[in-house]
Amino acid sequence: MFGLFKKERKRGEQFLVGSTDIHCHILPGVDDGFASLSTSVELLEREANAGVKRVYFTPHSMGLSGAVVDPRSYGTHHHHHPHSSKGGKSESSRSIQDESANASVFSSERNYEFEIEKLRAENKIVPSSILQAAREKEYAEINKLPEFLGEPIGGFSDAHLKAKFEKFKEFYTGRVDVRLAAEYMMNKEFLDKVKAKDLLTYSDGVHVLVETSYYSAPLEMDEILYTLQIEGYKPILAHPERYRYMGWNDYEKLKEKGIEFQLTYLSLTGYYGKTTLKCALDLLDRGFFDYTGSDYHRTSTFIHYAHKLDFNRRRTEALEKLFANNSKL
Ligand SMILES: [Fe+2]
């Protein structure tokens, strides 16, 4: 009776066994992705249980032109949210609903270290909620380090992301091999970074994840991609199936230039709508994709997709090939 259901689940999750995720927003409190250490660690635990081996955190790096830093937590920064202001799907408002129940709430006023010492001195059990809040506060304190205080209003610098990631690794004791890269918005500030050869790449030091707005091509796009290649980088375009302004001519031109494509496999479940689904299937069938990633912004997405990835053999093999490529990064 439950056989069919079980088999369906397996079809969705089989791709994850031994896999590497090259695109997600799980590093907490740095963009419109995860909000707290505890929800991040919890999802990584679920991923580990599903067989995921390695996860690259790819926080949005937007330069000066508009950040997606989430004001919910870790806040010294308060920004507008470019996705919602452009009429796109607001990732952040949804994750508040998804995660507020689990997110640990810390107060920057409370001295947790002192409270923990005191409880221990009195031989009392320290509640895990206090320990968690203390960790969250310590993680948030990075925002107040002198070297990061003068940061532009446009969001966290790569140095800041690195500091956050190092702190995250101090706390994270799970099984997933976590690494840091970034998802760079292709704009003027990014072009300057490329020229300065100052990028958060994948571990091979050359592959770089880049994105554009969903609605229009950046003026500097050709120049940026060209400069990346001249400087020895290998640009991977994040979720080409989601850019509404791109057509087949654009895809073909980009592939001719040697730009690699990353499929967000949620697109194949219809999660982003029918247009994106169709485009993703077309690109997959034409063999245009090179890698695949989750682009997780919150835990519920993980639950959503697993039951829905279910293809014929040809497409299953195509997707497996992308996951095999992921493992090289
Ligand atoms: Fe992303």
* 97 alpha carbon – ligand 1 mean position (Å): 20
Which residue type occupies 253? K
83 confidence band (pLDDT: 50, 70, 90): very low
The residues, any chain, with a CB within 8 Å of residue 262's CB and separated by 6 or more, are: 22, 23, 209, 236, 237, 238, 239, 240, 289, 290, 291, 292, 293
* 162 alpha carbon – ligand 1 mean position (Å): 17
- pLDDT of residue 279 exceeding 60, the answer is yes
* 214 alpha carbon – ligand 1 mean position (Å): 12
- pLDDT of residue 133 exceeding 50, the answer is yes
- pLDDT of residue 87 exceeding 80, the answer is no
* 200 alpha carbon – ligand 1 mean position (Å): 15
* 283 alpha carbon – ligand 1 mean position (Å): 19
Two tokens, residue 241: 């199936």
Q: What is the pLDDT of residues 134-192, one digit of tens each?
A: 999 999 999 888 888 767 655 688 999 999 999 999 999 999 999 999 999 999 989 99
The conformational region for residue 11 under phi > 0 = left, psi -120 to 50 = alpha, else beta, is alpha
* 182 alpha carbon – ligand 1 mean position (Å): 9
> Which residue's structure tokens are 């990353």?
262
* 239 alpha carbon – ligand 1 mean position (Å): 8
pLDDT of residue 150: 67
Q: Give percent of the chain with pLDDT exceeding 90.
A: 65
Range of the domain at 167: 3-326
pLDDT of residue 301: 74
- Print the SS3 string covering 56-90: EECCEECCCCCCCCCCCCCCCCCCCCHHHHCCCCC
* 122 alpha carbon – ligand 1 mean position (Å): 47
- pLDDT of residue 54 exceeding 80, the answer is yes
* 87 alpha carbon – ligand 1 mean position (Å): 17
* 132 alpha carbon – ligand 1 mean position (Å): 27
Mean predicted confidence (pLDDT) in 290-305: 84
CA nearest neighbour of 57 among 176, 186, 233: 176
Two tokens, residue 65: 């032109």
Q: What is the pLDDT of residues 244-253, one digit of tens each?
A: 999 999 999 9
How many independent structural domains does the chain possess? 1
Task: Check residue 93 and report its DSSP letter.
Answer: H
Mean predicted confidence (pLDDT) in 55-73: 67
- pLDDT of residue 237 exceeding 60, the answer is yes
pLDDT of residue 7: 43
Dihedral sign for Cα atoms in the order 170, 171, 177, 180: negative
> Which residue's structure tokens are 């989601």?
242
**C-alpha to C-alpha distance for 176 and 47, rounded to whole angstroms:** 8
* 69 alpha carbon – ligand 1 mean position (Å): 13
Q: Give percent of the chain with pLDDT exceeding 70.
A: 80
CATH number at residue 162: 3.20.20.140
**C-alpha to C-alpha distance for 220 and 204, rounded to whole angstroms:** 26
CA nearest neighbour of 259 among 217, 285, 231, 222: 222
* 38 alpha carbon – ligand 1 mean position (Å): 20
Q: What b/e sequence results for 215-239 when a residue is b if at least 16 CB atoms lie within 10 Å of its CB, and e otherwise?
A: eeebebbeebbebbeeeebbbbbbb
Residue, of 269 and 53, whose pLDDT is higher: 53
- pLDDT of residue 228 exceeding 80, the answer is yes
User: Is the Cβ–Cβ distance between 305 and 6 less than 8 Å?
Assistant: no
Dihedral sign for Cα atoms in the order 279, 285, 286, 287: positive
**Alpha carbon separation from 24 to 32, 115, 165, 231 (Å, rounded):** 11, 35, 14, 26
**C-alpha to C-alpha distance for 82 and 99, rounded to whole angstroms:** 21
Q: Strand pairing partners for 264?
A: 293
- pLDDT of residue 97 exceeding 80, the answer is no
* 272 alpha carbon – ligand 1 mean position (Å): 13
* 212 alpha carbon – ligand 1 mean position (Å): 10
